[in-house]
Amino acid sequence: MPELLRQRVETCYQQAETFFKRTFPRPEVSFKLRGQKAGVAHLHENLLRFNLQLYRENQEDFLRQTVAHEVAHLVAHQLFGDRIQAHGEEWQLIMRGVYELPPNRCHNYEVQRRVATRYIYRCPCPQSDFPFTAQRHKLVRQGRRYLCRQCRGILVYSGETRVE
């Protein structure tokens, strides 16, 4: 499946080279992006990272719009340098002129939120529930202490968890 994505990256570069009549160094392509972002361009590393989950769920639009969007960031950086805005007029010129696509800043793909366990901590204050992440809960088990902002009492694990 990532092969189509790699091919689209190459096609975008070929279009940019034809348009600007110059060559561009090809980026490293990674599929290790998770969360809400569909893609990220790391300008100084010449690296593109893509979210495979969002690609699988939105393949057609992802190939057309998202890949061009991220390649346009690298091309704009290589043409115009560091002093341009990420979604500024130079990037927009590439999206419209080279790829003939709308310069949309964000995708509108459905994103599944991760299920997270929260560890409930309490202090002497009435109605005090402090949901801690797994990372913060681990820090408490390693000896870190957290205080209530109101009573300054130490927050203590209640033994309860909840899933959000």
Per the annotation, binding residues for Zn(2+) are 69, 73
Task: Write the DSSP assignment of 92-111 as a string of letters.
Answer: HHIIIIIT-----SS-----
> Is there a catalytic annotation at residue 70?
yes
Q: Among the options 10, 45, 70, 89, which is catalytic?
A: 70
98 strand-pairing partners:
none
Written in H, E and C, the secondary structure of 32-57 is: ECCCCCCEEEECCCCEEEEEHHHHHH
SS3 call for 157: strand
Give the number of other CB atoms < 10 A from CB of residue 98: 19
DSSP strand E in the chain: where?
Answer: 28-30, 39-42, 47-50, 117-122, 130-132, 156-163
SS3 call for 73: helix
> Binding-site residues, please?
69, 73
Residues tagged active-site? 70
